[in-house]
Amino acid sequence: VIALTYSASLVVRTCLVYDFVLGNHQLNLMLNRIRNGKKTDLFDDETRQPRWVWNLANILIRLVSSAITGILHVAGPVSLSRWQPGRALFIYCGIAPQYITRRVHSSSADFHRPPDCTMSLARFQHLVSIPLLTIGESANQQAKAIQLQ
């Protein structure tokens, strides 16, 4: 509606935003479950394109001063199950994920979400020169940033 009503506007669509910093809300929820002796359920049958929050922020700052309008998908470059980035976060934090996570199917929960939310990134890649980082590339950049502090 916004893009149709305001032709000079930009609507950015993204999904599954994550960060490696201890203290963020989603990671805290999972870690609190672990501290309470519970395993964390991670769905392996829902496909998303996880986006590192700092890569997304950099892109959004660039887009604010651009002339790009319409709807723009800004998601991760690779489609992954929720299981894969969840495990990567635990590994990055030094937690052995095989002991604290369970692979589950979303059909076992009372969720009614589409199993595949892969977005086309063709328009973004054509218009924006900032690379979309994978989880591994994001983890490397986060580690470098910590070393510089």
Mean pLDDT, residues 37-66: 91
User: Residue 80 corresponds to which tokens in the numbers above?
Assistant: 């992954």
pTM of the model: 0.84
Residue 98 has pLDDT above 90, yes or no: no
Confidence band for 21, pLDDT divided at 50, 70 and 90: confident
Range with the poorest average pLDDT among 45-49, 53-57, 144-148: 144-148
pLDDT, mean over the chain: 86
- To the nearest 10 degrees (0 to 180), the angle between helices 25-35 and 83-92 is 80
- The answer to whether the CB of 51 falls within 8 A of the CB of 14 is yes
